[in-house]
């Protein structure tokens, strides 16, 4: 199963808007993706409650894993998303 490790860049971590953006992106992929913080238990990346339960703050290293023919592309897309400060991007549009 392919994996990708990335550091959460959003200044609020995976909370509020960044978590919502990440979960929505994971749900759109059509590939089962899981995320875990550190050595924790993996949770579904398309579940807002599960992602929030990780308690991932800015600088937390998370690992994504996925299954299926498009797993690598899904992981690359989600890892790129987590590596950006989604709070700053959301705030600049208003």
Helical H runs in the chain?
A: 16-28, 48-53, 71-82, 86-91
Catalytic positions, please? 15
Whether the CB-CB separation of 26 and 34 falls below 8 Å is answered with no
Total residues belonging to the chain: 94
């Amino acid at each position: 199963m392919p994996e990708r490790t990335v550091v959460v860049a959003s200044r609020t971590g995976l909370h509020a808007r960044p978590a919502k953006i990440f979960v929505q992106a994971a749900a759109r992929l059509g590939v089962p993706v899981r995320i875990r913080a550190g050595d924790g238990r993996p949770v579904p990346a398309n579940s807002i409650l599960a992602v929030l339960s990780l308690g991932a703050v800015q600088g937390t290293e998370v690992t994504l894993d996925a299954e299926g023919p498009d797993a690598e592309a899904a992981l690359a897309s989600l890892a790129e998303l987590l590596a950006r400060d989604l709070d700053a991007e959301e705030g600049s549009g208003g």
